[in-house]
Each structure stands twice: as C-alpha cells, then as structure tokens.
Structure 1
Amino acid sequence: MKILVTDPIADAGLDRLREAGHDVVTAYDVEGADLREQIRDAAGLIVRSGTKVDAELLDAAPELVIVGRAGIGVDNIDIDAATERGVIVANAPEGNVRAAAEHTVAMAFAVARSIPQAHARLKDGEWAKGDYLGREVNNKTLGIVGLGRVGQEVAKRLGALGMDLVAYDPYISESRADQLGAELAELDEVLDRADFLTIHTPLTPETEGLIGSEELARLGDGFVLNCARGGIVDEAALAAAVEEGTLAGAALDVFADEPLDPDSPLLDVDEIVVTPHLGASTEAAQENVATSAADQVIAAINDEPVVNALNAPSVDRSAFPRVRPYIGLAETAGRIAVQLFDGRVNSVEVEYAGDIAEEEVEIVTASALKGVFRPLEVRVNAVNAPGVAEERGIDVTESKTSQSDVFQSRVSVVVSDGEEDIRVCGTLFAGDDPRIVQIDGYRVDAIPHGHMLVARNHDKPGVIGFIGTVLGENNVNIAGMYNGRETIGGEALTVYSLDSEVPDELIEQLEEDERIIRAQYLALNNE
C-alpha cells in the first residue's frame, strides 16, 4: 500500500512502514494540485501540523483509509469531513507528552527567574545581577487549564516542587484530580487563585480565545504559560497586560499563526519568553510520535484496532483477538438482513448473547451497521456508519444478555420499519468459523460467503430437487445447502451457498413454481 508522508517525521517511523511492506512516499514541499495528485492512490497519510487536511484533499483520496497525526494536535485536520468519508483520524498523544510537560516546566522557571533575559545581557557583556529578582515556585499556586495527559504530567512535576494545584477541566473526575493532588474549580476561581497559569487544552471553537483581557486581569501579578496551542490566549491582550505590569510575565511556545510574525507585539515585551514551538522537539519525542503514527496506519490498513483513533470505534488491544472474529460476522449478518428485508429501514438493533456480551462491542456494532448500509451509493465503513445512521434518522440500539441458547456466543442483527422486521443470527464454530444459524426464526447452518440463494417455500416433496435442477440447468453450482422449517407441511426456508451469482431470470423461473413463496439472491463479498 502507498503511504504518503507530507511533513517530516523521524526515520524510525518511515522504517516501521517499510518493514511492514508498504510503499512510503515523502512529499514535504508538495501542496495544491500536486498534493491532490500524490494522495489519489494513497491508503495512508501521515502529517504533522504543516499539512492542512480538509474536505478538498480528502475528496481527492478515494483509497484513503487513515490520516495519522505524528503528534497530539489535530486542528489542521477536518475530522468531520474525514468521518463522513469513512477515513480514520488518529493522533499520537503519548509520544511527546513527557517532552511537552518538561518544556512547560522549563518555561515556568525561565520566566520566573528571567533566565533568557539575563543570559542575553551577559552575552552582551552586562553583569546585570541587580536587575533581576526572581520568584520561587515553592508555596505558589499553579492554575491548570486542561488536566489531560500533558496537564497531568505538569501537575506531577510542579506539584512535587511544592506548588499547590488548582485545575479547570469539565471532563475529568474529582477522583482523578484527587489522585494528582489537584483541586477542581471553575475557570474564574482558578484565575483568581493562580500565581502561575498553565494551559493544556486543544484548540477548539470552545477554547479559542478562552484567555482574553478580562481573564488576564484576574491573574493579577502572575505568569501565563502556554505550550499547548496558539489561539487559546489572546496574544495582543497578553502583550498589553505584561507591558502594562498587570501581569508579571509570560512564556509561550505556541502561537495563533506560525511562524510568529516579526511584528508581533509579543516580541516587544522583555518579560515575555518565546520559543519556536519546541515542546515536542526532543529526539525521543520525535521518534515516539513517528513510530506511534506509523503503527496506527499499519493497524488501520490491516483492519486491526487503532488505539488512538479520534473518530472510529476502538477496542483495547488485549481484547481485540476475542472480538475480531465477530466484526466480519456482524457485518455479514447486517448485509443478509437488509437484502432480505422488503421495507424501509427505520431501526437497527444489534443483540449480543453469551460470552461476547461481556466484551466492548462498539466496533462490532459499527460493523453491523456497515453491512446494513452497504447498498447505499456512498462509502460506508465502521468509521462513518454511526453517522450515516444518525443522518438518515435510523434508530440504532444495542442489547446484551449473558444468557445464550445452545451457542457460547451469538450476534443478531434486526432491521425493522416499525411494523415488520427480520432477524439474522450468527455465531462462531471452533472460535473463528462464522456461521449463520437463524434467519427470520428459521434454524439454519449456513457458511456466509460469496453467493447465496435464500428460498422460502411450502414444505412439499420435490421442492429442493426442483431448485437444484433449475440451478444446474443455469450452470450455477451448489457449494452447500441448509434447510429449516416451521412444521411438517408448513413453510420452510432453505439457504444455498453457490459458486456464482444468480441472474434475475433464474429467480423469475423459480418463483413461477407455486411451491416457491420467495427466492432472493444475496451477494456477500462483491465489492
């Protein structure tokens, strides 16, 4: 598979992709129409912050399976557009966590002790010892906006140096904050109490401009640290607050526009320390994010769990071997159900019984939806299937029971129009051999593969022979047959596994016989 890499990453990541057998193409200075041409046949794309992955670029990539971000921030990637097109977006949030946390701590000391300013003056020949009176971090309060991975690592480090920790994060539990020794509070309270304010949130519509002039005024004679994302802090307001003495200083590693404009007001204020987005710039971090992004691209192409997927169902890697066989089974059950169903699908229910009910099955449910929506003239996969259901107003439910019938585990897909429904149940024999064991209440034992014919008929002698004869006369070979009936002489359902497709004329020929209630051809693995 072709993997396109459009921003420089460590050689370790490129080597990982090549060792997996992929064709790696680097295009670091390509953009516009040339980039769209390069991505046309790519299965994977790896970027950093330099490449804008928007709807236009995604539309030029019909083969694309995954966009891997070698780093944590994904504000340069249109995740909604990727999801609509069934493209996984995954980042590498852990690879540079330690590096970003350490850089934040370094920036705290740099601004509190005026290290860059004193260094520059000494290099210029000035011994300005009396001009700088630093502040210690011990017994000071650290306000943390965003207690995610990096925020937690900063809390551990600066908390260990004697700082009191108060944090604003609506998405973290009090118990986790307690473990870190941090007190949770609303943003205004954090600003009022903090001597140092450090920011560790992603850039989103909710966080853009989160810290403006009013918020900066609440800090008093404090310091602002931002090694997360530019745009969260109003840079002009920050420069003014420090220059006017409202704030003691600030240290920034990220900016709303990068590279930073030489005319930025931030550069005119001596008490503001700036670095050119160095938070992840350590040898270990660069290698970690590169190999992490590569591993996730490889996993996506191999239909394995993508552990840091931002828009796709995921499963713990240790649990994946137990769940994986049911992914294909659920998709096939969904495909069978929707092809047999005559009504307009208003709802889909996926039922789990037995051992499989004990597992995390979000990815299995998404695969069942993928099967149901397969006839749509859009690209549907486990990434965008839940969104397709919501967009079309189709209710999706998931139910579990530890009780199963004769099978250790069973997965059922039920499609309904609100009045009529059809249920298709499947299980695994010997751990990984998929079987369809029930269709609309009829017990069968069908191998779900290739081409199938499902015939509903009156249970009378000679029907199966008649169907076999018609198939034979039309050069369609039977690979297997599975029959179920309600009662002797009642209705029966027979599933035929075939070696080739069934033409419409053959279906018409079968249904001309009064003993045949309905005959339906199912295509299970055609693309």
Structure 2
Amino acid sequence: EICEPAPGGRTNQDLAPNKEKPMPRIHCLNNISAYGTDLLTDSYELTDDAGSATGILVRSAAMHDMEFGGDLLAIARAGAGVNNIPLDRCAEEGIVVFNTPGANANAVKELVLCALLLGSRGIVEGIEWCRDNAGDENIAKAAEKAKKAFAGREIKSKKLGVIGLGAIGAEVANAAIGLGMDVYGYDPYVSVGAAWRISSDVHHVTNLDDMFRTCDYFSIHVPAMEGTIGMVDAHACSLMPEGAVFLNFSRDTLVNDEAMAAALASGKVRAYITDFATPAVMKMDGAIVLPHLGASTAEAEDNCAVMAVREIMNYLENGNIVNSVNYPACDMGICPEGQGRVAVMHRNVPNMISRITNTFGDEDVNIENLTNKTRGDYSYTLIDLNQPAPVSALDHLAGLEGVRRVRVVK
C-alpha cells in the first residue's frame, strides 16, 4: 500500500506497522531470460501490468514516454546502455535505475576479435568471390589465382589502440595481448577495479592523439555522451597511419560519418568494421557492417538477466544499490532481523542528514547504523533502527523539502 505523499516526496510503507507487506510485482517490458526470472522467489509475483509493478526488467523497449505507477521502485536494464530510460525523471521520482556492466563483455570481446581478423584478412571479400564464382567448374583452380587479392596480413605484433578500458575494453586489451598484439590503452576515467583487470603489458596512453599516430588498429569502447559523440573525427583520422583499421562496437555516434567516409575513400583507413547499420555507414566503401550482434548471444542475455534480477532483489529486500546509473552505490549488507531499515532518497542539499536523524531522535528511536552516499544532484541515505520505524516519522521525512521517496525496507 502507498501512503499519500506529503509535499516533499513519496512514501512507500505499510499504513499499519504490523501488517504484512504486499508481494513485490515484477514486470518484463521485453523477453527476459528465464535464467534471471527463475531467481525470483515465491515472495515475488510476475505481472503483465507495468502500472502496478514494483520493479521493471527491460532490454531495449523505449521508456521515455511511459508513465510510472506510484509503486515503481526500480528499473533494471539487462544490458549496459540506458539511453532508452528517462534517468533524470526516474531520479526525481525516487526510482533507481540499474544496468548490468560487464555481463555481456565476453560476447562483445569475442566479436571484436572476429572483427580484428575481418579487418586484417580479406575474409568477407573472399567469401563473396566464392559465391560469385559458385558456378565455375574450375573454381578450385581459379581460387588459387584469386586468393592473393584476399591474403591480407597477420595481427600478431601489430599495434592495437583500445579507447576506453571499462569492462569490455579491458577484456579486448587482454585478449589482444594473448594474441601477440602490442596493445595501447587510453582511458582518463578508468576505475580502480578496471585497472586491476588490465594486463600490465598494456601501454598506458595519456594523449589520444599519440595513440592515433602510433597504432595500426583501433577499437573504441566508451559511452555516447557529450564529450565522446563524434570524437573520431577528421582530425583523428588524419593522424592515423595509412591503411589503419577501425573497429566500432560501442555506439555509432562516436564516429563522425563524413570523416570516416572520407578516410575510407582516400585509403587512410583501410577498413571500418562497425556493429551499427545506419544509412550513412551503408554507403561507405570499405565498411564491414554487422547488425548489432555485439551482445546478442544466448550466454550474454542469460548473464544480463541474472545480474539485473539480482540487483532488483537486493534493492527491494535490503535497500542496497549496486550498479545504478542515477543513484549512488550503497551497500549495508543484509537487513538485520527484528529491526527496521529505512531508505531515504533525496536531493543533495545541506543539512539533510541532520534533519533525517533529528526526525528519528524526536520519536525516541535510536539509529544503529547509517550510510549516506551522493551522486551528482541526488543522495541516498540508508538507516538501520533499533525498532520498526514509526509511521509518523516516515510521514515527516516524506514532507521534508528535497526528499523524493521514503521507503521501509524491513
């Protein structure tokens, strides 16, 4: 049941403290692997009604025009990109949005390795030649003469520049090292966790122009945002050595179409292999285009579904936030038995912590543990009490200016 929100924000709680909470309802906007949904215990209910859902699992369905029900607490994207979800609106409504970074990394890595070979050897051209000459009774003899045009070169000892060293980029870099390539990595925002995963044999590059001047092959693995859209432009292409190969299995908008078309036409870039079929790229001579196959393996879909379901369950059952894209990470472990845990989602404004603690102090309720985390304009406060939270305290918290949602976890 939902208490009517005070002017400050929403309150998700039971009106009667001893009343059993309603069963969380999970809605799948897309087909989600049963490996994930089968993790839901008997305490959960799958529902066809998105408006009554407590949590939503989604892959590619567009959510920007959706109206969210008052019960909705979390959205989990079974994948890394979240451009189909209105993140800011969700944050304002106290809805946590999760993604599943790294769950599909191996699938993309394997396709990138395939693309390295497609860009090195005339594999696609050779296949096309065989099909074009399928009716020739002497095709075997003819192939011995024709194959020189498709011979290509080996990738061993060649220089590969990896732009972005997150979950996928790190795996690509390490795999390329294993194939004998000389790997250079660029990522000014690489996390500590990602840094530990990267082979010590990867050369750390601090200037992207230096990488463009140095490497024979390039693979880009960064999100599409204001500072990265169009980053592979005419200037970048001009720095590349003659006959460079560029791989794009991240986002189509990272590469300037006009610049890449010109680089292919001049021979500056010998091959552009991309996982994004757009009208512009389909007109490029020298482009090998795949129909967005990067994370489309059965294993990747299973991995993403499992991670997404676990994130939602952890949040609903314990209030913990792991891999959110609009609220800060916060983990206080499993809820203690016989006590109360309360989650407060609020704007990142001064004195909010003191207002929250004073609210429980005024009710003579002791706070046994408290964690507050911030991400940009939004903060998340998770509180363990020595007793169930009084409804009056919860209503007061919901009425505080800047509070977006107050939730009783247990």
TM-score in terms of structure 2 length: 0.74
Deviations 1:81-127 (A, max 9, x none): 21111111111112211111111111111111121221121122273
Please tell me whether residue 252 in structure 1 is matched to residue 274 in structure 2: yes
State the partner residue of 1:305: 320
Asked if the contact 2:158–2:181 (Cα under 8 Å) also holds between the matched residues in 1, the reply is yes
Change (3 A) 1:448 1:156: closer
State the partner residue of 1:29: none
State the partner residue of 1:197: 218
**SS at the partner of 1:208?**
coil
State the partner residue of 1:85: 93
**SS at the partner of 1:290?**
helix
**SS at the partner of 1:150?**
helix
Match 2:178 to one of 157, 160, 164 = 160
**SS at the partner of 2:326?**
coil
Match 1:4 to one of 20, 27, 38 = 27
Within 5 Å, which residues of 2 pair with 1:400-479?
413=357, 426-428=366-368, 434-435=385-386, 449-450=389-390
Instruction: Give the letter aligned to residue 45 of structure 2.
Output: H
Q: d(CA) in 1 for partners of 2:222 and 2:70?
A: 33
Q: How many residues align?
A: 343
Instruction: Give the letter aligned to residue 366 of structure 2.
Output: G
Change (3 A) 1:413 1:243: same
Please tell me whether residue 286 in structure 1 is matched to residue 294 in structure 2: no
State the partner residue of 1:210: 231
State the partner residue of 1:188: 209
State the partner residue of 2:36: 13
CA shift, 1:218, in A, is: 1.3
Change (3 A) 1:198 1:19: farther
Match 1:134 to one of 147, 152, 174 = 152
**SS at the partner of 2:204?**
strand
Asked if the contact 2:160–2:217 (Cα under 8 Å) also holds between the matched residues in 1, the reply is yes
Asked if the contact 1:142–1:194 (Cα under 8 Å) also holds between the matched residues in 2, the reply is yes
**SS at the partner of 1:142?**
strand
Asked if the contact 2:122–2:149 (Cα under 8 Å) also holds between the matched residues in 1, the reply is no
**SS at the partner of 2:85?**
coil
Q: d(CA) in 2 for partners of 1:314 and 1:45?
A: 19
Instruction: Give the letter aligned to residue 137 of structure 1.
Output: I
Runs (5+) with no aligned partner, structure 2: 1-23, 134-138, 370-382, 394-406
Instruction: Give the letter aligned to residue 292 of structure 2.
Output: H
Deviations 1:109-163 (A, max 9, x none): 1111121221121122273302124122122111111010100000010011222
Instruction: Give the letter aligned to residue 292 of structure 1.
Output: M
What RMSD, in angstroms, separates the aligned Cα atoms of the two structures?
A: 3.3
Asked if the contact 1:389–1:395 (Cα under 8 Å) also holds between the matched residues in 2, the reply is no
State the partner residue of 1:271: 286
> How many percent of aligned residue pairs carry the same amino acid?
27
Asked if the contact 1:2–1:44 (Cα under 8 Å) also holds between the matched residues in 2, the reply is yes
Q: d(CA) in 1 for partners of 2:292 and 2:172?
A: 17
Asked if the contact 1:197–1:223 (Cα under 8 Å) also holds between the matched residues in 2, the reply is yes
State the partner residue of 1:360: none
**SS at the partner of 2:36?**
helix
Match 1:226 to one of 229, 245, 248 = 248
Asked if the contact 1:199–1:227 (Cα under 8 Å) also holds between the matched residues in 2, the reply is yes
State the partner residue of 1:34: none
Query: Which has more radius of gyration?
Result: 1
Within 5 Å, which residues of 2 pair with 1:25-44?
25=48, 38-44=49-55
**SS at the partner of 1:302?**
helix
CA shift, 1:71, in A, is: 0.8
TM-score in terms of structure 1 length: 0.58
Within 5 Å, which residues of 2 pair with 1:233-382?
233-254=255-276, 260-261=277-278, 264-315=279-330, 320-321=333-334, 324-325=335-336, 331=342, 367=343, 370=344, 381=345
Deviations 1:224-250 (A, max 9, x none): 101112211112321231122121111
Q: d(CA) in 2 for partners of 1:211 and 1:48?
A: 28
Change (3 A) 1:98 1:173: closer
Instruction: Tell which has more relative contact order, 1 or 2 (C-alpha 8 A, sep 6+).
Output: 2
State the partner residue of 2:104: 96
CA shift, 1:200, in A, is: 0.5
State the partner residue of 1:339: none
CA shift, 1:291, in A, is: 1.9
**SS at the partner of 2:39?**
helix
State the partner residue of 1:347: none
Within 5 Å, which residues of 2 pair with 1:64-83?
64-83=72-91
Instruction: Give the letter aligned to residue 219 of structure 1.
Output: M
Asked if the contact 2:78–2:308 (Cα under 8 Å) also holds between the matched residues in 1, the reply is yes
Q: d(CA) in 1 for partners of 2:46 and 2:118?
A: 44
CA shift, 1:425, in A, is: 7.4
Change (3 A) 1:449 1:152: closer
CA shift, 1:389, in A, is: 3.6
Q: d(CA) in 2 for partners of 1:422 and 1:294?
A: 38
Asked if the contact 2:365–2:385 (Cα under 8 Å) also holds between the matched residues in 1, the reply is no
Q: d(CA) in 2 for partners of 1:271 and 1:211?
A: 17
Q: d(CA) in 2 for partners of 1:96 and 1:433?
A: 35
CA shift, 1:167, in A, is: 1.9
CA shift, 1:299, in A, is: 2.6
Change (3 A) 1:427 1:106: same
State the partner residue of 1:47: 58
Asked if the contact 1:2–1:43 (Cα under 8 Å) also holds between the matched residues in 2, the reply is yes
CA shift, 1:395, in A, is: 4.3
**SS at the partner of 2:272?**
strand
